[in-house]
Amino acid sequence: MGPQRSKDRLSPPLMHAFRSAHAERSFAPRIGDAAAGDAPRQARPTRLSGRPPITEGALRQEVARDLANLVNTVSLASAIDLDGFDAVRRSVLNFGLREVTAHFADQAADGRLARDVEEAIRHHEPRLLAGTLRIKQVVRVDEPSLNVRLEISADLSCEPVDVPVVFIADIDVDSRKINIARASAS
């Protein structure tokens, strides 16, 4: 029989190990460099056992941060014609979203923006299961400007069980920056 798993803890993605070490500042100055003042740092040895589990909330926040980076990065296809370079179009070289242009209102009105976000997520965020990905566009009029909101729902691939999540992406019409405002369980 395998190890017992807690239902409130999930198996973390590999990147979490690096982010948590950075957040904890688990680095130590090299021996002999302490007198130098600005000594270079190196990682402290850590245990060789498996990665510690991550809470569902922390995992959702990690994915929300990565989604924000994805949708606020301009893809290579925005600058270079990738016709005939299908492998490049699907690779990390083309990470990001097609540029949100000055014709933002048109992109939002005809659904292109939601389709572009969905395509970017399908290609570059494997933790969200493609078969469960749904994007709903909500156009709201708030004083003093028009705001566009995308509701991104999907199942987050986890062990021992996939977790349904909803991310809210608010688009600032003036700067065309997309802010992942919150992540919640669906």
Residue 29 has pLDDT above 60, yes or no: no
In a domain, 16, yes or no: no
Decide: 167 and 180 in contact? Cβ < 8 Å.
yes
- 3-state SS assignment for residue 57: helix
| Residues facing residue 96 across a β-bridge | none
pLDDT given for residue 170 in this prediction: 87
Share of the chain above pLDDT 90, in %: 27
- The structural domain count of the chain equals 1
In a domain, 6, yes or no: no
Decide: 111 and 136 in contact? Cβ < 8 Å.
no
pLDDT in tens, 43-91: 555 555 555 677 888 888 889 999 999 998 999 998 999 999 999 988 8
The reported pTM is 0.72
In a domain, 20, yes or no: no
Segments forming the whole domain that contains residue 121: 52-185
pLDDT in tens, 136-170: 988 665 556 667 788 999 999 887 788 899 999 98
In a domain, 3, yes or no: no
CATH classification at residue 122: 3.10.450
In a domain, 68, yes or no: yes
In a domain, 95, yes or no: yes
In a domain, 38, yes or no: no
| Residues facing residue 125 across a β-bridge | none
pLDDT given for residue 136 in this prediction: 92
pLDDT given for residue 19 in this prediction: 74
Nearest CA to 94 among 106, 86, 105? Answer: 86
Q: How far apart are CA 180 and CA 172, in angstroms?
A: 11
Residue 116 has pLDDT above 50, yes or no: yes
In a domain, 175, yes or no: yes
| Mean pLDDT score, 101-121 | 77
Q: What are phi and psi of 97, to 5 degrees?
A: -110, 145
